[in-house]
Amino acid sequence: MPVAPPNPRLPPLSHLAAFEAAARLGGYAAAGAAAGVTPGAIRAKTKALEAALGVTLFAPLPQGVALTPAGERLLASLSPALAALSSGLAPLGSNPPLQALIGFEAALRLSGFAQAAEAVGVSPGAIAAQVRRVEGWAGRPLFLRSAHGVAPTPQALAVQPDLARALQGLAQAVAETDRAPVRIATLPAVAQLWLAPRLPALRAALPGVTVSITALERLPDSKHAPYDLALFFARIGGVLLAEDALVPVCAPHMAEGLTEVADLTDLPRLTDSVWRGDWRLWQQRAAPGLAGLARSTEHSLYALAVAEAVAGAGVLIGHTALVQPYLDAGTLVAPFDWRVPCDKGLRLVQLRYAEKGRAACRVAAWLQRG
């Protein structure tokens, strides 16, 4: 019985081999010397592999590179898979043309170029070209051609089970990288008030996917930051998750004594250090004739200011993108529903490219729906 098909969406096998050599030998220079190519060629293939997988495999050091946790996971599974690949093809030769093997194996397993093309998602001509490349490497015909079609030779059929298992091992090695946590960078307030309440539902919807959240005050550099996704307030870029507006909010019992906007000057006003100008901005647009609202009690964490407002410690200048759940639940109310739209909304930015279906893309898609 033929071995089950490998995943046809493997990254270029030559890229996997370049990474494995660099990881095993301790750097691009040693891997390049072993392969007879430049260190830059090994580095370029490794970077292309990182882009295809959506993970960082090597971390730069003052001298050389070091494997990241994702790189360590990939190496642990990849080395034996590549060894199995070489062993399985040993009857035909050494140093096989890696990228042609997927189409060649499919043609063997399915006994035809057209069937293999449909399974792999390429043209029959592309499969035929891959088979010819493998035959050129082996120095012998591996398929018999006739007017009725093609048929693998006994020598080719003999290596098919080992080849299929080796390609499956490579696919499983690649899948290991998708078990790394999806790393999300976001503002502390967004982490605590917007993202944290959604995490239980995210875990239920995406079992097996883990997320790691880092609180930052600024959007990280997409070229160098080790994050997959970012959630920040911005005017443009990424995907808009929520519009934002400023509105005073307080505990229900405190709102009972507020009959006009001027009453706000008699109560403690709350804000946080990042958005310390919010009261002034709201006053300028909603109550331009009123003075004194700019003075407020400042907290270093917006979530703490929200908690103080819920406890009745004062009136908070609320960001609707973050406090709307409290308004919906009734734990906070807006005594004067004069909302001043903000020019920045909560946006989701994908910092690293990842193929559709990988964990970072699935988390991003869920956050957009949720």
Question: What are 153-206's pLDDT values in tens digits?
Answer: 999 999 988 888 888 888 888 877 767 788 899 999 999 999 999 999 999 999
Helices (H), the chain: 13-25, 28-35, 39-53, 69-88, 101-110, 113-120, 124-138, 154-177, 188-190, 199-205, 252-255, 278-286, 302-310, 320-329, 359-369
What per-residue confidence (pLDDT) applies to 355? 61
Question: Is 224 a residue whose pLDDT tops 70?
Answer: no
What per-residue confidence (pLDDT) applies to 166? 86
CA distance linking residue 314 with residue 326, whole number of Å: 15
Read off the pLDDT of residues 65-113 as tens digits, 9 standing for 90 and up: 888 888 888 888 888 888 888 888 888 887 777 778 888 988 998 889 9
What per-residue confidence (pLDDT) applies to 59? 86
Q: How many residues does the chain have?
A: 370
Question: Is 232 a residue whose pLDDT tops 50?
Answer: yes
3-class DSSP state for residue 186? strand
What per-residue confidence (pLDDT) applies to 293? 66
Domains and CATH numbers, the chain: 13-177 (1.10.10.10), 182-242+346-369 (3.40.190.10), 245-343 (3.40.190.10)
Read off the pLDDT of residues 346-360 as tens digits, 9 standing for 90 and up: 999 988 766 666 788
Read off the pLDDT of residues 301-339 as tens digits, 9 standing for 90 and up: 999 999 999 999 999 999 999 999 999 999 999 998 789
Contact 32, 41 (CB under 8 A): yes
Q: What is the mean pLDDT of the chain?
A: 87
C-alpha closest to that of 309 among 263, 274, 272: 272
CA distance linking residue 317 with residue 306, whole number of Å: 9
State pTM to two decimals: 0.63
CA distance linking residue 182 with residue 212, whole number of Å: 6
User: Which tokens go with 367?
Assistant: 């956050």
